[in-house]
Every structure is written in structure tokens, then in C-alpha cells.
């Protein structure tokens, strides 16, 4: 169950010539693919491109009607390998995944694809995840494009530019026989807007047609001596063809006056931020009309030296807006100037920070600094004044507490780590390797479980150096998404083959929850177009791992604790795997809450469990918070002057998972947790019984109050 359905929006993908499409960037990309006559599409979900895979999945019927093959690939390497269909056949293909981690996973396939070259257009849509909103290491896709000699597009973040980049990307790929990477940043994926549609095009040659007439060409096989020829072909034929195409199609753009003593060169994806900065400085309007010449690199690799030198002619100062490091573009442009004997001064890093996202404040400060150096007269007097009253950006770090990422309310992964903390209390600290996924939040407070993270599906492999046996067994944590992505082959086969004596815990929440709830091989749901319900335990048994324990309710903290303890203390040698399964609570609530609300509205009986803390029993020890960390579990101060310490409290965001009570029971904490079932639309007998209870409780409370000693003085 994906976290968001696009079935309604998919209807807009059927729009044709003369109609206007309005929506998000990811939907615009899908529509552009269909208008380009794509023959097959695939990919692997991951922010910020996850929803593109969800759109494609929801549009699978439309794709099939057009003769387009869609495949949700096992990982990014499988997606990139899919583009092999464009090597020998004139079929356009596109795949998508998160960058740069997806590019890293797909590196082998992409390098081979780039070496052999393509006949049909091949487009790799990369969701660039760099900056403050990123969930990964801070890297860029740019150096891979340079290494593999793949052309890299970075279009301006508006729908017409993105759609045009998809279409010209295919044309560029075919004109230069080279795969093309299309980079869309977080804001590009979710920007909204509109563009004029064209008709969807059925691929001239479908993959089904190609199977009926197979082709091959040994010259495209990546083996010596052909691989040496490929390298020469890249430089002598493909690169010049790409440069010619980029110039003729005017893929890069120039805005503002054609002359002037200064100019700005900007990556296409940074254009909106630059225009906003110029607007705040009074040098551009909201529509992009600018007084400063701007050269927009919608193609950031290859750079076109002749085009850049034409822009630089007659200018004394140039600012290069290039996010991230190293400064590949700035260095290359400096080389072009030097070789041509240009005299323009190049500015970039120094005014801009070497690394980090170019936020609005960063962009404004750098552009203003450039103008103060190169052309102070261009800055309006109101801005140029040294003591200008500019509203300062408040420092919220002193007023807003740090809020690290954490598990959702009711998350079934929380009790797993509570159980691990209990085992740690008994057996001491163990070597623990983590993996990519929601379970990585356990490395943060209050659990602080997990160490190195080396890649998706590589948690157990990261413990390879520790798995030879020792006083304490090493523990690895991996999710079901990571298991099917790369873990089975790279981690568990590795454990089995090397006779590891370590422990691996597979967190199975029924689908790839961290990337949006997409189904995988072991998902429990019925999926008409994908194979599900393939148990992880069977895959482990198939590669020779026999010590496997399946737990189908992770909220049973005592059972989790006992199973982990058994894995760490058993005398049996070999890999030990615990599969801890419970459905992702976030997706479960997305599915069940609307059903429950509809049932309540219809007058049907609905029972909703809620948990609470008895304030009279709670001692204020807060061990429950340290072993749970649930967002619904907080602290509350009492009015009682004899009790200074706050007590635990459960708020209305509680989803009734029972984890707090289970932890309290397994850890032998205070028995202050209680469960109350809230019944909507009760039956007559239930309503009568509730009224009777309330009357009895009220009578008992009044009798107790009447017997209490009173210390109040007489008036």
C-alpha cells in the first residue's frame, strides 16, 4: 500500500493536444514520457522521486494500453540494466531512482550502458537529494556523469522546462548515441504548475515487437577490443554530436540584457533561487525579467565552451552559481577562459559556501556580495546603504528544541529496540551494525542502538569483520525493503557462505515502508501485477540458513527480548536470523482510520483501544519513556504540592498499539499503564451498563470525599 494514491491524477495523463495539464512535477514528468513515445519505464522508489514510481504504478493500465512496459525494479542496478533494451533497438526507455545513492548502486550497469552506447533514447531520471531536506550522505550525481560520459540535464524548476527537458533528453540521447541523466531536485519534483499538452504517442517499436525480431551487434559488447573503440567513439563522435545538438536546440538559455560588464552563470535547478535573490535586490521582477545577464545551464554536462565564451565576451566579472563541492563547473569554465585568453574575473566559491544547500539567505548574501564587488552602482540605494534596516533572520536554535527524526506513534519497530535495550541490560553492550530504513532511527535517543550504515541492504555485510566468533556475537539490523533490495545476495548469502556466527534482525513491516509503502516480495497484500506473499524465511532457508525465528507480533516485548537473548547465547553455530514482523502503523492508520470514521458516521459500533497512565500509581521514574520514546508518551506536572517530579502521560495521538504497557510489563516497571476501550455507537445494553458504572463511581467518589479530613478553617 503506497502512502499516496494517484489514481485520480492519472486521468490527467490522458489529456491531449489543445488541453492544459496542471499538477506536480512528478506527474508532468510522467506525461512528458508518454508524449515522447517511451517504450518502457522502470525504477526504484526513494525520496524525492518515490511518488514518480507510485504514479507509474497507478498508471500501469494506461501504460499497457499504449504498449508501454512498466517494471518496478528490485533495486537501482536492475533498473539501470533494464536500459539495455535501448542498446540494440530503437526503443525509448526511461528509469528513475534516488540520486546519488541510486547512481552508486546502479554504477556498474550505467558504466556499461554508457560504454556500449544506445540506439534508442535512454533517460535516467535522478531525484537529486542534496541539502537541508536530504536523508542521505551529501554527494552529487554530477561527477558520475563526468566519469561515465553521460550527459546531465538540470532544467529550470517549472513544469514547461521539465517537460521540455524530458523530450529533448530523448532526442539528445539518440543524436549522440549516449544515455542522458535528467536531474530533478526536491523542489522540482513537487513544484506545481501547468503546461500545454501534446498527444500521447504509442512507441513506434514496442518491446513486444522487438522480441519478435531480435537484434544483436557484437561491436556494442563491452569487451576488448570493442571497449577501446567505445572510448574513442565517446570523444570523437558522441561528444561533438552532443555539443552540436545542445547548441542547435538552444537547450541552455540566456536571460536579461545581451551586453553588460557582468553576468551570472547558474545551474538550471538553482534558477528560481537566483531570480528571487535578484528580485529582493530590486534587479528582477516576479516574472523573471532581470537587469543582470544570466546564462542558465539546463545542461550541466557537457559544458559548451563556445556558448559560454560568447556569453562571457565583453564582461569583466562572472558569478558561477554551483551548489555543492567540488566546483566542477566553475573549474571547467575557468579553464575555458584561460585557454581563450579571456580577462573576465570568475567568482563563485568564496562568495558562496563550498558545501551545503544554497538556501534563500545564502543565495541573497552571495549575489549581493558579488554585486558589491563587481558593480556596486547597480544595487539600489535602499539596499546599498551600510546601515540598511533589513529584518534579521531569527536564530530559532535558542527557542525551538532540536527534534531529531524518530519512529511514528505506534511504530512496530519501537518494541524491537525496547527489547534490545532490555537484553543489553542483561548481557552488556554488543557490536551493532545498522542499515537504511526507518529502523535507523534507533541509533538516536532514547535507544542509541546501531552504528555504521554502509548502504541499503548492507547491514549484516557491515559486520563481516566481526562475524568470525568472539566473546559476544555481533548484531545486524536490516529491513524487509533492504533485504529484497540487496540484502539477500550481499548480506545473507555472505553470512551463509562465510559461516558467520552473528545475529541479524530483519524488521519486516509488510512493505518498503521507509520509501512510501510500496509492495515487495514478502508483502502480505494481494497485488494483481506483482508477486507478493513470498516469505523471507523461505529465502533464508534456500541459501542454507536454518536458525530462523519468526515473530509475527513485535509488540510482544517479552517474546522479542527472549528470542534476541536466545540468539545471542545459544551454543549453536552459524548465522542466526530473527524476522520481526508487524505492519507499519502509519500505513495501517491511513487505511483503517477512514474506514472507522465512515463506520462511526453510519452508526455502526466501533471499538477503539486507548492507553493511559494512572497518575496516582506513576512514580515519576520515566523508565517507560526511556524504553519506548513514543511521541504520544510525554510528561505531565501535577497540581499536588507533595509531588515535584512530573509523571508520564499519554496524549490523544495514541493509536492503541499497547507498546508502552508491554514494555512496562516486560521491564517490570510500575503497573501504572491501563487500557480503556472507547466504544462509538454502543448497543443499548452497553449504554445502560456505562450509565450504571458512572453512577456507581460518582456515588463512591462522593462517599470518599465526605469521609476525608478537612483542614480548612471556619469562616
| Whether residue 493 sits in one domain with residue 451 | yes
Question: pLDDT tens-digit profile of 363-402?
Answer: 999 999 999 999 888 887 766 655 555 566 677 767 766 6
Which three three-digit cell numbers place residue 619? Answer: 512514580
Neighbour count for residue 342 (Cβ, 10 Å): 18
- If one counts the domains in the chain, the total is 4
| Whether residue 231 sits in one domain with residue 309 | no
Question: pLDDT tens-digit profile of 583-620?
Answer: 999 888 888 899 999 999 999 999 888 888 888 888 77
| Whether residue 454 sits in one domain with residue 535 | yes
| Whether residue 643 sits in one domain with residue 535 | no
| Whether residue 361 sits in one domain with residue 455 | no
Q: What is the pLDDT of residue 50?
A: 82
Give the CATH number, domain containing residue 700: 3.30.70
Q: Is residue 517 part of a domain?
A: yes
Q: Is residue 683 part of a domain?
A: yes
Q: What is the pLDDT of residue 616?
A: 82
Q: What is the pLDDT of residue 384?
A: 60
Q: Is residue 650 part of a domain?
A: yes
pTM: 0.87
Asked whether 528 and 72 are in contact (CB, 8 A), the reply is no
Residues 6+ apart with CB under 8 A from 381: none
Q: What is the pLDDT of residue 392?
A: 66
Residue 283 and residue 293: Cα distance in Å, rounded? 11
Give the CATH number, domain containing residue 576: 3.40.50.970
Residues of the chain where predicted confidence (pLDDT) is lower than 70: 1-4, 382-393, 397, 400-403, 669, 710-715
Q: What is the pLDDT of residue 393?
A: 67
Q: Which domain holds residue 673?
A: 605-704
The DSSP line for 178-237 is --EEEEEEHHHHH-EEEEE-------SS-HHHHHHS----GGGSSSTTHHHHHHHHIIII
User: Helices H, strands E: what count in the chain?
Assistant: 28, 23
| Whether residue 459 sits in one domain with residue 538 | yes
Q: From 619, 692, 690, 608, select the one nearest 654 (Cα to Cα).
A: 608
Q: From 170, 208, 204, 179, select the one nearest 87 (Cα to Cα).
A: 179
User: In 3-state terms, what secondary structure has residue 141?
Assistant: coil
Q: What is the pLDDT of residue 666?
A: 78
Q: Is residue 116 part of a domain?
A: yes
| Whether residue 62 sits in one domain with residue 88 | yes
Domain boundary among 560, 587, 614: 587
Amino acid at each position: 500500500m503506497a502512502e499516496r494514491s494517484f489514481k485520480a491524477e492519472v486521468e490527467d495523463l490522458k489529456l491531449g493536444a489543445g488541453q492544459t495539464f496542471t499538477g506536480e512535477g512528478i506527474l508532468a514528468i510522467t506525461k512528458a514520457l508518454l508524449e515522447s513515445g517511451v517504450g518502457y519505464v522502470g525504477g526504484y522508489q526513494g525520496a524525492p522521486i518515490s511518488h514518480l514510481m507510485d504514479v507509474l504504478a497507478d498508471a500501469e493500465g494506461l501504460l499497457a494500453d499504449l504498449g508501454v512496459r512498466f517494471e518496478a525494479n528490485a533495486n537501482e542496478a536492475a533498473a539501470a540494466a533494464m536500459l539495455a533494451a535501448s542498446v540494440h533497438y530503437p526503443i525509448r526507455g526511461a528509469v528513475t531512482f534516488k540520486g546519488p545513492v541510486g547512481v552508486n548502486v546502479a554504477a556498474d550497469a550505467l558504466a556499461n550502458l554508457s560504454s556500449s552506447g544506445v540506439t534508442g533514447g535512454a533517460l535516467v531520471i535522478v531525484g537529486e537529494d542534496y541539502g537541508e531536506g536530504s536523508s542521505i550522505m551529501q554527494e552529487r550525481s554530477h561527477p558520475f556523469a563526468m566519469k561515465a560520459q553521460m550527459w546531465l540535464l538540470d532544467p529550470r524548476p517549472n513544469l514547461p522546462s521539465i517537460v521540455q527537458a524530458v523530450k529533448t533528453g530523448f532526442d539528445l540521447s539518440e543524436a549522440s548515441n549516449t544515455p542522458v541523466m535528467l536531474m530533478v531536485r526536491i523542489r522540482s519534483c513537487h513544484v506545481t504548475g501547468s503546461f500545454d499538452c501534446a498527444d500521447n504517442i504509442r512507441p513506434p517499436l514496442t518491446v513486444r515487437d522487438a522480441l519478435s525480431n531480435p537484434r544483436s551487434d557484437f561491436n556494442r559488447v563491452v569487451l576488448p577490443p570493442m571497449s577501446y573503440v567505445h572510448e574513442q567513439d565517446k570523444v570523437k563522435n558522441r561528444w561533438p554530436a552532443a555539443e552540436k545538438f545542445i547548441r542547435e536546440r538552444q537547450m541552455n538559455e540566456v536571460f536579461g540584457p545581451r551586453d553588460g560588464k557582468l553576468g551570472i552563470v547558474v545551474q538550471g535547478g538553482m534558477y528560481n533561487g537566483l531570480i528571487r535573490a535578484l528580485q529582493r535586490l530590486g534587479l528582477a521582477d516576479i516574472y523573471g525579467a532581470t537587469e543582470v545577464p544570466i546564462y542558465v545551464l539546463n545542461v550541466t554536462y557537457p559544458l559548451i565552451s563556445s556558448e559560454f565564451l560568447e556569453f562571457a565576451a565583453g564582461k569583466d566579472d562572472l558569478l558561477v552559481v554551483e551548489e555543492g563541492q567540488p566546483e566542477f563547473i566553475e573549474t571547467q569554465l575557468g579553464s575555458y577562459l584561460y585557454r581563450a585568453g579571456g580577462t573576465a574575473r570568475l567568482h563563485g566559491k568564496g562568495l558562496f559556501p563550498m558545501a551545503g544547500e544554497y538556501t534563500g539567505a545564502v543565495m541573497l548574501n552571495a549575489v549581493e556580495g558579488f554585486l558589491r564587488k563587481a558593480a556596486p552602482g547597480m544595487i539600489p540605494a535602499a539596499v546599498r546603504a551600510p546601515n540598511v534596516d533589513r529584518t534579521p533572520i531569527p536564530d530559532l536554535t535558542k527557542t525551538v528544541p532540536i527534534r531529531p527524526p524518530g519512529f511514528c506513534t505506534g511504530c512496530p519497530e519501537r518494541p524491537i529496540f525496547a527489547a534490545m535495550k532490555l537484553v543489553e541490560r542483561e548481557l552488556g553492550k554488543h557490536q551493532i551494525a545498522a542499515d537504511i530504513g526507518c529502523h535507523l532511527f534507533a541509533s538516536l535517543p532514547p535507544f542509541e542502538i546501531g552504528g555504521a550504515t554502509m548502504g541499503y541492504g548492507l547491514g549484516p555485510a557491515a559486520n563481516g569483520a566481526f562475524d568470525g566468533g568472539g566473546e559476544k556475537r555481533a548484531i545486524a539490523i536490516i529491513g524487509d525493503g533492504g533485504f529484497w533490495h540487496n540484502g539477500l545476495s550481499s548480506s545473507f548469502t555472505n553470512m551463509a557462505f562465510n559461516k558467520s556466527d552473528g545475529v541479524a534482525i530483519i524488521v519486516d513491516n509488510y512493505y518498503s515502508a521507509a520509501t512510501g509503502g510500496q509492495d515487495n516480495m514478502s508483502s502480505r497484500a494481494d497485488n494483481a501485477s506483482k508477486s507478493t506473499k513470498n516469505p523471507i524465511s523461505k529465502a533464508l532457508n534456500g541459501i542454507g540458513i536454518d536458525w530462523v525465528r519468526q515473530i509475527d507480533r513485535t509488540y510482544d516485548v517479552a517474546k522479542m527480548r527472549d528470542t534476541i537473548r536466545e540468539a545471542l547465547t545459544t551454543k549453536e553455530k552459524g548465522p542466526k536470523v530473527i524476522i520481526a514482523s508487524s505492519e507499519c502503523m502509519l500505513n495501517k492508520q491511513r487505511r483503517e482510520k477512514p474506514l472507522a470514521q465512515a463506520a462511526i458516521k453510519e452508526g455502526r459500533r466501533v471499538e477503539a483501544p486507548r492507553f493511559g497512565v494512572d497518575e496516582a500509581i506513576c512514580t515519576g521514574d520515566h523508565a517507560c519513556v526511556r524504553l519506548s520514546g513514543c511521541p504520544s508518551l510525554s510528561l505531565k506536572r501535577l497540581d499536588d504540592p507533595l509531588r515535584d517530579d512530573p509523571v508520564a502521560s499519554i496524549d490523544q495521538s495514541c493509536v492503541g498499539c499497547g507498546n508502552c504497557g508491554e514494555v512496562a510489563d516486560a521491564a517490570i516497571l510500575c503497573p501504572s499503564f491501563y487500557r480503556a476501550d472507547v466504544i462509538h455507537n454502543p448497543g443499548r445494553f452497553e449504554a445502560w451498563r456505562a450509565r450504571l458504572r458512572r453512577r456507581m463511581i460518582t456515588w463512591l467518589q462522593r462517599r470518599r470525599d465526605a469521609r476525608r479530613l478537612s483542614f480548612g478553617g471556619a469562616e
